[in-house]
A and B are shown apart, each in its own frame.
Chain A
Amino acid sequence: GAVVSQHPSRVICKSGTSVKIECRSLDFQATTMFWYRQFPKQSLMLMATSNEGSKATYEQGVEKDKFLINHASLTLSTLTVTSAHPEDSSFYICSATGGANTDTQYFGPGTRLTVL
């Protein structure tokens, strides 16, 4: 149990376009979802926390108008990178809590974004 999926697994886009990444909890209802990003050879950095039906809480330094998060249901959260630029190229990873171990965060496999 406690499986989290992401789609797509990798995406390449042109500078200035927007990209949407989906995060789904497959076998549990996720009360809270988290979005992280990871640059090469660095650790994961939390971007934002979202609860179903409410606005996301962004970490300091993360632009909320650039990284749009929607948590429309208890099994789906989306991250949209708007007007992407090469510096947004990164590994984006979501996680969710609410499984059998209700406080344990389970992570998705990640999405590799490359902006040309």
Chain B
Amino acid sequence: DAKTTQPTSMDCAEGRAANLPCNHSTISGNEYVYWYRQIHSQGPQYIIHGLKNNETNEMASLIITEDRKSSTLILPHATLRDTAVYYCIVREGYQKVTFGTGTKLQVIP
């Protein structure tokens, strides 16, 4: 069973913020929300993760709704190098990462 639902694809203009949504309505109390991305022909890259609170690092911000049933990954100023497939994953700390189909983000010049 898929634990997360993401749009298949999105476009974003270069320099603008990219907001990638993820629904995880069945998330349990101990499960974290993780985001990875995979640039073509490369291994997945860890971006950010969070449990309840919003998180920010040098790559992105993660906004988690109060009920934790959805989240949004924000790339504040998208560049062409951000074109990739973005995966939203929910898991408890010890669990293996299982990938869905993700969102294909195309950054447009």
Interface residues of A (CB under 8 A from B): 2, 4, 6, 34, 36, 43-46, 49, 91, 93, 95, 101-110, 112
Interface residues of B (CB under 8 A from A): 32, 34, 36, 38, 41-46, 49, 87, 93-94, 96-102
**Which residue from A6, A93, A102 sits with its C-beta under 8 Å from B44?**
A93
Q: Complex Cα distance A110/B93, Å? A: 23
The B interface is mostly helix, strand or loop, or mixed, namely loop
**Which residue from B41, B43, B98 sits with its C-beta under 8 Å from A107?**
B43
- Tell me the total A-B contact number using a CB cutoff of 8 A: 49
Chain A residues, Cβ within 8 Å of B96: 34, 46, 49, 105
Q: From residue A58, how far is it (CB to closest CB) to chain B in Å?
A: 12
Beyond A43-B101, A44-B99, whether A104 also contacts B46 by CB under 8 A is: yes
Whether the Cβ atoms of B43 and A108 lie closer than 8 Å is yes
Chain B residues, Cβ within 8 Å of A101: 49
Q: Complex Cα distance A46/B97, Å? A: 8
A-B contact pairs, 19 of them (CB 8 A): A2-B46, A4-B43, A43-B99, A43-B100, A43-B101, A44-B38, A49-B96, A91-B41, A95-B43, A95-B44, A102-B93, A103-B93, A103-B94, A104-B34, A104-B46, A107-B43, A107-B45, A108-B43, A110-B43
